[in-house]
Amino acid sequence: MRGEEEDGGGAYGHQEISGTEAEGLAERWGLEMCEEREHWTRRRWEEHRRGLGKGKKGEDSWACEGRVELFGDEAGGNEEEPRFRDDDPSWDGSEYLPQGTVGAVVLDRFGTICVATSTGGLTNKLPGRIGDTPTLGAGFWAEEWEEDVKGREPMLYKPPFGRATQTPLDLLSRGNITGLLSDCLPSLSVDETQNDTAAVCEDTAAAAYKRNLTSRHAVAMSGTGNGDSFLRLSAVRTAAAISRFSSPNVPLAEAVRRIAGPEGALQESASDRWGKTGEGEGGIIGIELVHDKSDIVWSFNCGGMFRAWVDDDGRERCMVFKEEY
């Protein structure tokens, strides 16, 4: 990873970069670049116009047609792309368009955990508005740590240090080269050999003791919903902190519920505006790994949240609402 390099791969260790400098880094790193016009589609343009209360015909219809001429034809824009009718009961733009986020949380077979989130943004947002998706800790977060494991008393092996029990193979297997050579070189005393052997064994025992008292804990989350509410709460980072710093540790599923579940922190942040402006609405998906056991977690405070995963048996699962159907 370039972030592990001394200069951050040219990013100087900065955590978040935007604008032309970010594009320049991406180009230098070999990412495929594209023109802005390639992002244009007629459907999204019409969604934008509907959001402004403008129809498809009228005195300002030239704007849409001009855009097609500039972007659609040159960039391969699909003129035949299906359009959603305003009276189509299966499509509610006010419900889906402002919250069109796609998040992915992944745990591979080596125990590496990571997250990625993408969004089309907020339709007709103010110019300059930055949402939670590109903001660390608001719409996405992944971290791991070593935590103490209480209630264990590991058994330490302390071998006898008598010369009679130390064969050459014994000494070699413990890395005690001094002791091995002392059989041939009289200048090396027995006491020095015993002290070296004891030090090696004590160091090994201490390392084993530490390993038995700690366990790897990793979490990763991706959020969807009202991005400004996620920003105000640093929502997914806060969920990770609840899990990590509570004593005893709180399972990630409970931490996520406290943030994104019904009556959770996101909903409470909307105050009396809850249910009126869309503020506070959202959900979180995530994975928690404790030692070698992983769990899928999610919670949301709205009507439903599309989510899919592969369970422990390798089955592909998909849900939208609270209960499985």
Residue 179 belongs to some domain of the structure? no
pLDDT given for residue 16 in this prediction: 77
User: Which region among 13-17, 66-70, 168-172 has the lowest average model confidence (pLDDT)?
Assistant: 66-70
Position 103 scores a pLDDT of: 93
Please give the pLDDT value at position 98: 43
pLDDT at 178 over 50: yes
Structural domain containing residue 58: 34-91
Q: Which two tokens stand for residue 259?
A: 């943030």
Comparing CA positions, the residue from 107, 95, 98 lying closest to residue 133 is 98
Residues 47, 145 within the same domain: no
pLDDT band at 89 (very low <50, low <70, confident <90, very high): very low
- 58 belongs to a structural domain: yes
In the predicted model, is pLDDT for residue 215 greater than 70?
yes
Kindly state whether residues 230 and 292 are assigned to the same domain: yes
Measuring CA to CA, which residue among 230, 240, 284, 320 is closest to residue 105? 284
Q: Is residue 141 part of a domain?
A: yes
| Range of weakest confidence among 60-64, 89-93, 245-249 | 60-64
Q: What is the pLDDT of residue 60?
A: 44
**Do 129 and 77 belong together in one domain?**
no
164 domain-assigned: no
Q: What is the CATH number of the domain that holds 220?
A: 3.60.20.30
* 251 and 262 fall within a common domain: yes
Same domain flag for 74 and 104? no
End-to-end CA distance of the chain: 41
Do the domain assignments include residue 170?
no
Q: Which of 37-46, 104-113, 120-129 has the highest mean pLDDT?
A: 104-113
The whole-angstrom separation of Cα 91 and Cα 49 is 16
251 and 299 belong to one structural domain: yes
pLDDT at residue 10 in the model: 84
Question: Is 187 inside a domain boundary?
Answer: no
The answer to whether residues 130 and 13 belong to one domain is no
| Residues 54 and 121 both lie in one domain | no
3-class DSSP string for the chain: CHHHCCCHHHCCCCCCCCCHHHHHHHHHCCCCCCCHHHHCCHHHHHHHHHHCCCCCCCCCCHHHHHHHHHHHCCCCCCCCCCCCCCCCCCCCHHHHHHHCEEEEEEECCCCCEEEEEEECCCCCCCCCCCCCCCCECCCEEEEEEEEECCCCCCCCCCCCCCHHHCCHHHHHHCCCHHHHHHCCCCCCCHHHHHHHHHHHHHHHHHHHHHHHHEEEEEEEEEEEECHHHHHHHCHHHHHHHHHHHCCCCCCHHHHHHHHHCCCCHHHHHCHHHCCCCCCCCEEEEEEEEECCEEEEEEEECCCCCCEEEECCCCCEEEECCCCCC
Q: Write down the pLDDT at residue 259.
A: 97
Residue 196 within a domain: no
Of residues 193 and 246, the one with the higher pLDDT is 246
Count Cβ atoms within 10 A of the Cβ of residue 248 and give its class: 0-12 exposed, 13-18 middle, 19 or more buried.
Answer: exposed
The tally of domains found in the chain comes to 3
In this structure, is residue 156 part of a structural domain? no
pLDDT over 80 at 258, yes or no: yes
In this structure, are 15 and 38 located in the same domain?
no
Judgement on whether residues 8 and 118 belong to the same structural domain of the protein? no
Same domain, 45 and 23: no
Average pLDDT (176-180) is 56
Residue 13's CB is within 10 A of a number of other CB atoms, namely 11
On whether both 112 and 7 belong to a single domain, the answer is no
Mean pLDDT of 140-166: 60
